[in-house]
Structure 1
Amino acid sequence: MNKVPPLQPGSSARTLLAMVFSQNVSPGAPNSLLQVAVKNNQQPVWYFSDKGLLHVFFGEDGKMERTSFLEAWKSLPDDNEFSKEYPNSVISSIDATVEHLAASNVFFIAKRKNANMDVLYLSAKVPRGIPFLIELTAAVGVPGAKCAVKTPNREFVPLFFEAMESLIN
């Protein structure tokens, strides 16, 4: 429990709270809802919730070499591959997108052209060594992107797609 020094009305303070990935998980499918309870002196407990997107857990160790990526992609069964369309996403620059994703620990591996589309291969990893092998397809300046992902942990796929949508929009 983090303690914040007493505050006067209208003032604020910052504190850091350590979070552990996949600890004290509620039953059911994982979701991005972060439930918070704050004890205070004016009322017993103040409750609120917010989104805690998966990409905040992407680690700096998520970068894969090209050959490792290819081997991992081939080693995962086809039913561990999922895709999602983002019809409103517009990639205005490949370089800027790669840089933006890298700032959130989504790492560039390779790029290829497929007709007028750019296909980016990327990797990310969450704690406990769970990798995400990513194929992001878009035409620069044209609305619409498609993201395919392969991962050994299928239960995190909806959270992954939610995080990617926030990163590419």
Structure 2
Amino acid sequence: MFENNSQTALDGFMIQFNKNTFGLAAAGPVQVAQVPPGGSARTLLPMVMYQNLSQGPPNTLLQVAVKNNQQPVWYFNDKFSLHVFFSEDGRMERTSFLETWKSIPDTNEIAKDLTSAIIQSIDSTIENLAASNVFFVAKRRNANKEVLYLSCKGPKAVPFLIELTAAVGVPGVKCAVKTPSPELAPLFFEAMESLLK
């Protein structure tokens, strides 16, 4: 949404994204009609991936430049969550999950305690995660904790095999992930922590 807090009508909007981990770029020009003083305009900007790739460790930072015909360029940073890339075809059957788990080296398994995450109910957690394309595979009970196995596919169809361990209703979830792209694990944990609040 563009808000015009100036005394002049604004038009000729353009947007550009700096190089970034997933190569996100605008799929076309931003479509915004003239915005009168004190007015606002909403628009949707379709994005493409792998157009504008940066080097270095993966991150979810987007550096954005916006300009119009009346003002200088405005620069700002934004962040997105890795889960926006989780695809609808990330569901695995139990046998496929086990075969994939065995095929990925143990060195590619990374675990983290998500201290602010909480599972209030197994069923609602499974439902909420499925809405973000993180799919239930199996569950078991270990002492007083529930263990959930889930799967999802990230950018470039990279599989993430997930084990969540938690006591229902108690803050703190242990999240283990096994993936062919372990460099994405920190971004994955950030996404899971936000999905489990």
TM-score (norm 1): 0.94
Of the three residues 124, 127, 132, the one matched with 2:155 is 127
Q: Could you tell me how far 1:85 is from its partner in structure 2?
A: 0.2
Aligned to 2:180: 152
**Letter of the 2:91 counterpart:** K
Counterpart secondary structure, 2:41 = coil
How well do the aligned residues superpose, as a CA RMSD in angstroms? 1.3
Q: What's the counterpart of residue 134 of structure 2?
A: 106
Give how far 1:130 is off: 0.6
| Structure 1 residue runs of 4 or more that deviate by more than 4 Å after TM superposition | none
Structure 1 alignment gaps of length 5 or more: none
1:101-131 C-alpha deviation (Å, 9 max, x unpaired):
1111111111110111010111111232111
Show structure 2 runs of 5+ residues with no match. Answer: 1-28
Give 3-state SS (helix, strand or coil) of 2:152's partner.
strand
Give me the whole-angstrom Cα distance separating, in 1, the residues matched to 2:51 and 2:160: 20
Counterpart of 1:122, as a letter, is L
Deviation (angstroms), 1:8? 1.3
Higher relative contact order (CA 8 A, sep 6+): 1
Cα distance, 1:22 vs. partner? Answer: 4.0
Corresponding residue pairs, total: 169
Residue 81, structure 1, aligned to residue 91, structure 2: no
Q: Which moved more, 1:6-15 or 1:124-133?
A: 6-15
Q: Which has the higher helix share?
A: 1
Select the residue among 10, 21, 35 that pairs with 2:38: 10
Partner of 2:8: none
Measure, in 2, the Cα distance between the counterparts of 1:9 and 1:83.
Answer: 51
Name the structure 1 match of 2:53.
25
CA apart distance, 1:78: 0.5
Contact 1:88 1:143 in 2 (8 A): yes
